[in-house]
C-alpha cells in the first residue's frame, strides 16, 4: 500500500487546492492581456501545473520541458539534463516556469538562464514548494506555495525513485523505504 509508507503529511490536499486558487488569481491579475507561456517542468510539476492553470481566468499558452537532475535517488546529481525542449519560441514572450519544488536551485537557474538567453521578455518562476535550506546556487522563485524544511518530500508530483507522484498531498516517507525498495 502506498499510504502506509508515509510517515507524516506536511501539506494536505485541501491546502494545496486553496493555495493554487490564490496563486491562480494572483497570476490572472498580473498576466491579464499578456498571453503568458506557462511552462511545466516534467515530470514533477504535472499535478501542480494542472491545479494552477485551471485557476487562471485569462488567456495562456502551455508548453512542456522535461529535465532531470535526480536520476531516481534522494540526492541531486548536480547536473541538469535536458530530455525534451520546448516546442514554442520564447523570444519576446512572458514566460512563467511552473515547478513542483526548488531545492538546490540548479534546475531553475539552468532553465531561467536558458530562457533569458533565448530572449524571453520576462521569466518568472512559480513553485509549489520551496526548500530554502537546500539552496546551493543563488536563485529564488517569484511565487511560492509552501516553504518547507529540509526533508525528503514526496507526493503531488514529487517522487522517490519515480514513485509517489500520484499522492494527492505532500508528505515525508518512513526511513525504511530508503533502505528497502518500493
One residue of 23, 41, 65, 141 binding ligand PRP per CB under 6 A: 41
> Would you count residue 122 as binding ligand PRP (CB under 6 A)?
no
- The minimum distance between CB 43 and ligand PRP, in angstroms, equals 4
| Beta-strand runs (E) in the chain | 6-11, 37-42, 61-68, 81-84, 94-102, 122-130, 143-147, 153-154, 170-173
- The residue number whose beta carbon is nearest to ligand PRP equals 44
Nearest by Cα to 159 from 147, 171, 146, 150: 171
One residue of 114, 128, 159, 164 binding Mg ion per CB under 5 A: 159
Burial grade of 37 (CB within 10 A; 0-12, 13-18, 19 or more): buried
Q: Is 161 a catalytic residue?
A: no
**Given 33, 85, 87, 103, the catalytic residue:** 103
- Whichever of 43 and 121 has its CB closer to ligand PRP, that residue is 43
Residues near ligand PRP (CB under 6 A): 41, 43-44, 68-70, 76, 99-107, 159
Amino acid at each position: 500500500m502506498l499510504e502506509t509508507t508515509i510517515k507524516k503529511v506536511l501539506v494536505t490536499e485541501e491546502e494545496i487546492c486553496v493555495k493554487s486558487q490564490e496563486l491562480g488569481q494572483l497570476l490572472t491579475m498580473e498576466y491579464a492581456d499578456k498571453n503568458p507561456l506557462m511552462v511545466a517542468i516534467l515530470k514533477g510539476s504535472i499535478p501542480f501545473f494542472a491545479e494552477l492553470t485551471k485557476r487562471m481566468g485569462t488567456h495562456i499558452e502551455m508548453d512542456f520541458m522535461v529535465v532531470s537532475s535526480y536520476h531516481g535517488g534522494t540526492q541531486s546529481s548536480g547536473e541538469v539534463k535536458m530530455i525534451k525542449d520546448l516546442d514554442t519560441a520564447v523570444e519576446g514572450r512572458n514566460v512563467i516556469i511552473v515547478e513542483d519544488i526548488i531545492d538546490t536551485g540548479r534546475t531553475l537557474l539552468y532553465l531561467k538562464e536558458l530562457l533569458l538567453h533565448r530572449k524571453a521578455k520576462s521569466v518568472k518562476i512559480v513553485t509549489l514548494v520551496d526548500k530554502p535550506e537546500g539552496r546551493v546556487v543563488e536563485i529564488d522563485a517569484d511565487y511560492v506555495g509552501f516553504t518547507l524544511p529540509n526533508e525528503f518530500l514526496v507526493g503531488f508530483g514529487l517522487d522517490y525513485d519515480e514513485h509517489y507522484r500520484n499522492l494527492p498531498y505532500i508528505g515525508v516517507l518512513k526511513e525504511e523505504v530508503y533502505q528497502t525498495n518500493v
